[in-house]
Structure 1
C-alpha cells in the first residue's frame, strides 16, 4: 500500500508542478511520462529496500497501479474523465421530438419480466467484467492520456435524447475537424487499442450502466446519435417507429452487419419490435455473443 500511495502522490505532484510552470498545455505524452517515471522510481526504491530478499513484486505492481491512478486524477482535473460528444442543440432535439409527439406512433407494452431480465443480466455482467474495466481504462489512458469514458447523445424511447456511456475508443476530440460523422470499420480516428475494443464490443461495456438506470435495455434497436437521427427523419419519417421501445445493447441489425442503410436498419428493428419477448431477447443475446466471438458479422 505504501508503494501505491507513494507512486500516486509523486505522479500528481510532478504533473501539477509541470502544469503550473509550463507556458503551454501539457501533452498526453508528458502525463504518461510522469506516471511511468513515478512508477519506475517508486519500484526502484522498493526494490532497494528489499535487497537480499525476494523481489517485492506485489509492491512494484501497486506502484504501477498508483502511478496510473495518479495520472488519471491529474488528467481528469485538466481535461476530464468523460468526453461528451457535441451535444445537439435544443432546436435539433425539439425537431426529433416533434416526429414522435405528433405522429400516430403505437408504443407496444414491454414484455413481462423484460425489465427484471435487464437488471439481472446487467448486474451479473457488470460484476463479472469489472476487473476488465481497469485493464481497458489503463490501455486507453497509457495510449493517449485523457478521458477514459465517452458519452454519445443518442435518441431513446419516445425520441428523448439521453447520454449513452462507452469507453473512449477514438482520439480525444476526434470530431473537431469533421463535425458529427458516423464511424466506420477502419476509422483512422480509432486508437490502436480502440480498434480491438470495437472489434470485441468492449467499448460498449459501460452501456450496462444505461441498462441499470433504465435508459437502455439489454436487447433493442441500437441507439443512434440525435444529430444523425434528425437528418434521417427528414428523409425517412418512419424511422421514429424504432423509438417506440427502449434502445438496446444488442439487436438484430447489429448482429448481422456493422453498417447498413437506414431503411434496412428500420426493417430489422421493426421485426424485433413485432417479435419482442423475453425468450426472443435471450436468443438474440446468445447470437450476439457467438457473432462477437467468431467475428462473423459482415462489415456492410
Structure 2
C-alpha cells in the first residue's frame, strides 16, 4: 500500500508557507537584535566620541537638515537627532523589559493558583482581572502615569498593570484544563503538596504561550510608551525617548522640518515590527494547530 503522502502541489504550498513564516521570523529576530545592540553600544559610541550627548544642546545647529556632521539632522531644541534616536532604543528597552517582566512575575503565579485551586479564589481573581482587562490599555496607562509620576520604573509600572490580566488569563485557562490530567491526579494521590504540584507538574505544562505573549506585549509596550511620551508623560523630558521627540517634532512639521519626526518614528516602527514578527513566529512554532493550517 502506498504511503500516505500529501500531493506534491499541496506539499509545496505548505512548505512554501512554512519557509515564508521562518523567513519573516528571521527578519524579526534581526531587527530585534539590531535594537538590542544599539541600546547596549550607544553609551560606548558616545564615550568614543562617535555620538553626541543626547541631552546636550548644540551651539548653532537648530533645525539643521541631515548632513555629514549630523546624520539625522538637529531638532528645534538643538539636539542631535541621530544620537537621540539611538539612545531612544535604550530607554525603550529599559521600560519594556521591566514592564513585561513585572506583568509576567505577577500574572503567571496568580494564573497558576487561580486555575488550580478554583472556587472562591478563582472567582475573586477572575473578577478583578476581567475588570482590568476591559479597560483600554493606553487610557489605563495614562491614568496610572499621572498617579505614579515620571521615571523608568514608574512608566514600567503604569504599563504592566494592563498586561497582568493577559498572563493571568492564559495561564489560568491552561492550568484549569491540565489540573485534571492523570499525572496531576497521581501526584495528588501520592501526597504532593500544592506548591509541589504547581511548580513541578503544572508550571512547565502551562507556559508554552508565555514567550509569545511576552514578545507581543513588548511590541505593544513600545507603542504605549511612545503614546505616554507624546502626551508629556512617562519619562523625564530631557530623556532621549521616541514619543517625546515626536511630540517636539510635531510643532516643526508644518514648516517642512521632516527629519525630526521621520527617524524616531521609523525607529519605533521597526522595533515594533521586529518584536511582532518574532511573536507571530513563536506562536506558530508552539501552536501545532497553526503549523497544520500553514
**TM-score tier after normalising by the smaller chain length:** under 0.3
> Which is greater in Rg?
2
TM-score, with length taken from structure 2: 0.24
TM, length-normalised to structure 1: 0.24
Relative contact order higher in (CA < 8 Å, ≥ 6 apart): 2
More strand by share: 1
